[in-house]
């Protein structure tokens, strides 16, 4: 049985913060959940949804007496959050976050945090294209991976406790270096989002294909890109600005491979195309075998039942 926390403070209560609140309740992991958000209306929405036990717009008030603090704000906002909470953190508290980029979050938070707290950065790799407190659900983290990137010298007990926390929420946990995390996520998450944003942008700009045609024939692959490209603009702007080096590195490789495909098409090199398309099928099979995707046809969409035709979770971040 995972050790309960006396008070968990959630700084930011959007999709991820609210899902944590619900999953913490489901697992009975906290005596008290303190909810904070910047805007009054978000705090009010969280209260209406009953996500916590106390509600405030003041981050300093939320963290008072908390033994676990989880910052769930966009990647560009962590320095300001660390500055705001630092003076009121309880000695011995674990401070973690959920940011999609790790090196930047560490360099934004660490300088402000007092020496008597334990900073264990986390990235629960689970999300949807929805945002805000209404979007959260307790099952978001079930069977997904959470990556911890503790800086050198972090107390092993604090790492263990943070790992146990995410496991109690249903996740598997890996520990890696922050720079490696940023490179891995650049190719598995950040570049795919960039491609989706780009292709949807291009489609909406192609003059000789009407907008109506784009909507009508969207089932031809485009529809799945539109779901990803509906992801939160603030979150994704910050991800690209804060994982610049890794994204540019991976984008360079991606562009080279795309040029090779362009050449294969131009020169009728069917063998190159066929070989690549065969190799990529294996990757998909591997993901299904790893339990990270359904092998149902049409990406597991349930037809004829409006409720289930909603975008699926887990495939955003
Ligand atoms: P979200 O639903 O948009 O919620 C964002 C929360 O942060 C809200 O409480 C919002 O407050 C607050 N916030 C926004 N800008 C802020 C600022 N400048 N200063 C302080 N607070 C601010 O976002 P989310 O999807 O939960 O994402 C939160 C974090 O999780 C991000 O770092 C993201 O990279 C990471 N993440 C996201 C996913 C995903 O798929 N969405 C998956 C894994 C990790 P107000 O509403 O009061 O303004």
Across the range 98-112, mean pLDDT stands at 98
As assigned by CATH, the class of the 5-177 domain is alpha beta
Among 149-158, 184-193, 199-208, where is mean pLDDT lowest?
Answer: 199-208
Integer Cα distance of 59 and 36 in angstroms: 6
Stated pTM of the model: 0.93
36 C-beta closer than 6 A to ligand 1: no
**Any atom of ligand 1 within 6 Å of the Cβ of 129:** no
CA of 14 to the centre of ligand 1 (A): 5
Q: Does the pLDDT of residue 240 top 50, yes or no?
A: yes
Q: What is the pLDDT of residue 214?
A: 81
Average pLDDT across the chain, whole number: 92
Q: For the domain bounded by 180-300, which CATH number is listed?
A: 1.10.3660.10
Rounded distance between C-alpha atoms, residue 23 and residue 139, angstroms: 7
Does residue 315 line the site of ligand 1, with CB under 6 A?
no
Domains of the chain by residue range = 5-177, 180-300
233 C-alpha vs ligand 1 centroid, how far in Å?
A: 11
Q: Residues 148, 162: contact at Cβ < 8 Å?
A: yes
CB-based burial label for 238 (10 Å; 0-12, 13-18, 19+): buried
What is the residue with the minimal CA distance to atom 1 of ligand 1? 14
Strand order in the sheet with 5-11: 54-56, 30-36, 5-11, 68-71, 94-97, 118-119
Q: Residue 92 pLDDT > 50, yes or no?
A: yes
Q: What are phi and psi of 73, to 5 degrees?
A: -115, 170
Consecutive H or E run containing 279 = helix 270-289
Distance 262 CA to ligand 1 centre (A): 38
Centre of ligand 1 from the C-alpha of residue 289, in Å: 31
List residues bridging with 71 in a β-sheet.
11, 97
The Å distance, Cα 264 to ligand 1 centre, comes to: 42
Lowest mean pLDDT among 78-87, 162-171, 218-227: 218-227
Range name among 83-92, 221-230, 242-251 with the lowest pLDDT average: 221-230
Same fold: 5-177 with 180-300 = no
73, 231, 236: residue to mutate for ligand 1 pocket, most atoms within 8 A of CB: 73
Tell me the pLDDT tens digit for each residue of 112-169. 999 999 999 999 999 999 999 999 999 999 999 999 999 999 999 999 999 999 999 9
Cα of 104 vs its chain's centroid, Å = 15
pLDDT recorded at residue 300:
54
Q: What is the pLDDT of residue 186?
A: 97
Q: Is 16 helix (H, G, I), strand (E, B) or coil?
A: helix
What percent of the chain shows pLDDT beyond 90? 80
- 149 burial via Cβ count (<10 Å: 0-12, 13-18, 19+): buried
Tally DSSP H helices, then E strands, for the chain.
Answer: 13, 9
More confident residue, 294 or 267: 267
């Amino acid at each position: 049985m995972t050790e309960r926390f006396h008070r968990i403070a959630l700084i930011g209560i959007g999709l991820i913060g609210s899902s944590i609140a619900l999953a913490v309740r489901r697992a009975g992991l906290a005596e008290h959940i303190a909810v904070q958000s910047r805007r009054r209306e978000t705090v009010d929405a969280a209260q209406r949804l009953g996500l916590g036990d106390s509600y405030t717009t003041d981050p300093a008030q939320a963290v008072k007496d908390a033994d676990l603090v989880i910052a769930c704000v966009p990647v560009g906002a962590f320095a300001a959050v660390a500055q705001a909470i630092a003076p009121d953190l309880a000695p011995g508290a674990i401070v973690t976050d959920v940011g999609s980029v790790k090196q930047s979050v560490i360099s934004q938070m660490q300088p402000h945090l007092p020496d008597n707290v334990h900073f264990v950065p986390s990235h629960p790799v689970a999300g949807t294209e929805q945002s805000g407190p209404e979007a959260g659900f307790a099952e978001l983290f079930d069977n997904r991976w959470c990556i911890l990137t503790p800086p050198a010298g972090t107390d092993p007990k604090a790492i263990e406790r943070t790992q146990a926390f995410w496991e109690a929420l249903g996740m598997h946990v890996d520990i890696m270096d922050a720079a490696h995390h940023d490179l891995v996520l650049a190719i598995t998450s950040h570049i795919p989002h960039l491609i989706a944003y780009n292709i949807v942008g291009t489609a909406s700009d192609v003059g000789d294909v009407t907008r109506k045609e784009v909507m009508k024939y969207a089932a031809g692959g485009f529809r799945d890109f539109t779901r990803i490209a509906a992801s939160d603009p603030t979150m994704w702007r910050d991800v690209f600005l804060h994982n610049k080096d890794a994204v540019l590195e991976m984008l360079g490789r991606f562009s080279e491979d795309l040029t090779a495909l362009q050449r294969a098409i131009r020169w009728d090199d069917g063998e190159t195309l066929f070989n690549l398309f065969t190799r990529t099928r294996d990757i998909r099979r591997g993901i299904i075998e790893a339990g990270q995707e359904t092998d149902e046809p049409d990406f597991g969409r349930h037809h004829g039942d409006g409720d289930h035709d909603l975008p699926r979770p887990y495939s955003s971040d």
